[in-house]
Amino acid sequence: SLVVDFKETGVKIQPTMYGIFFEDINFAADGGLYAEMIKNRSFEFPQPKTGWLQPNSDIHKFNKESGILSIVKNSEENSNHNYASVKVNGSKYELINEGFRSMGIKIDAKYNLTIDAAKQRGNIKKIKFQFIEETGAVVGETSISVDHSGWKNYQAQLIATKTVLKAKLKITFEGSGVINLDMISLFPEDTWKGRKKGLRKDIVELLDGMNPGFLRFPGGCIVEGTALDKRYQWKKTIGNIEDRELLINLWNTNFKHRPAPDYYQSFGIGFFEYFQLSEDLGATPLPILSCGVACQFITGELVPLDQLEPYVQDALDLIEFANGSVTSQWGKIRAGMGHPEPFNMKYIGIGNEQWGPAYIERYKVFEKSIKSRYPEIVIVSGSGPFPEGDYFDYGWEELKKLNVEIVDEHYYAAPNWFRENATRYDNYDRKGPKVFAGEYAAQSIGTTSPENKNNWECALSEAAFMTGLERNAEVVTLTSYAPLMAHADGWQWTPDLIWFNNLQSYGTPSYYVQKLYANNPGTDLLAITEDGKPLTGQHDLYASAVKDINTNELIIKAVNTSKGKQTLVISLKGASINRKGIITSLKNDDLASENSFDNPQNIGLKTIDFEIKGGEIKIELPSQSMNVIKVKI
Active site residue ranges: 353
CB nearer to ligand AHR: pick between 62 and 297: 297
CB nearer to ligand AHR: pick between 483 and 521: 483
Q: Are strands 20-21 and 214-217 parallel, antiparallel or unpaired?
A: parallel
CB of 23 to ligand AHR, least distance (A): 5
Contact at 8 Å (CB) between 84 and 53? Answer: no
CB nearer to ligand AHR: pick between 493 and 499: 493
H helices of 189-232, in order, are 201-209
Radius of gyration of the chain (CA): 27
CB of 383 to ligand AHR, least distance (A): 12
CB of 353 to ligand AHR, least distance (A): 4
What 3-state class would DSSP assign to 64?
helix
CB nearer to ligand AHR: pick between 154 and 386: 386
Nearest to 406 by CA among 340, 476, 458: 476
Angle at 286 between CA 285 and CA 287, to 5 degrees: 110
What 3-state class would DSSP assign to 468?
helix
CB of 221 to ligand AHR, least distance (A): 4
Sheet-wide strand order for 177-188: 67-73, 82-88, 177-188, 110-122, 152-159
Contact at 8 Å (CB) between 547 and 22? Answer: no
Distance CA 36, CA 112 (A): 10
CB nearer to ligand AHR: pick between 483 and 537: 483
CB nearer to ligand AHR: pick between 399 and 545: 399
Angle at 606 between CA 603 and CA 608, to 5 degrees: 160
Measured from the Cβ of residue 553, the count of other Cβ atoms closer than 10 Å reads: 19
State the burial class of residue 189 (Cβ atoms within 10 Å of its Cβ: 0-12, 13-18, 19+).
Answer: middle
- Under 8 Å CB-to-CB from 588, ≥6 apart: which residues? 456, 509, 602, 603, 624
Residues lying near ligand AHR in the complex (CB under 6 A) are found at: 23, 25, 219-221, 352-353, 410, 439, 482-483, 493
Nearest to 452 by CA among 422, 497, 401: 497
Element (H, E) at 11: strand 2-12
Question: What percent helix, strand, coil does the chain show, rounded to 5?
Answer: 20, 35, 45
CA distances from 501 to 38, 71, 226, 403, 602 (A): 15, 31, 27, 45, 18
Distance CA 337, CA 500 (A): 30
Q: Phi and psi of 92, rounded to 5°?
A: -105, 5
Residue nearest to ligand AHR (CB): 220
CB nearer to ligand AHR: pick between 164 and 399: 399
CB of 437 to ligand AHR, least distance (A): 13
Residue type, 455: N
CB nearer to ligand AHR: pick between 88 and 482: 482
CB nearer to ligand AHR: pick between 421 and 494: 494
Measured from the Cβ of residue 128, the count of other Cβ atoms closer than 10 Å reads: 17
Q: Phi and psi of 632, rounded to 5°?
A: -70, 135
CB of 448 to ligand AHR, least distance (A): 9
Strands (E), 107-146: 110-122, 126-132, 138-145
CB of 491 to ligand AHR, least distance (A): 11
> What distance, in Å, lies between the first and last C-alpha atoms of the chain?
24
Q: Phi and psi of 467, rounded to 5°?
A: -60, -35
CB nearer to ligand AHR: pick between 82 and 352: 352
Contact at 8 Å (CB) between 286 and 216? Answer: yes
CB nearer to ligand AHR: pick between 288 and 570: 288
CB of 392 to ligand AHR, least distance (A): 13
CB of 474 to ligand AHR, least distance (A): 26
Contact at 8 Å (CB) between 172 and 181? Answer: no
CB of 101 to ligand AHR, least distance (A): 20
CB of 423 to ligand AHR, least distance (A): 24
Dihedral sign from CA coordinates of 37, 41, 47, 50: positive
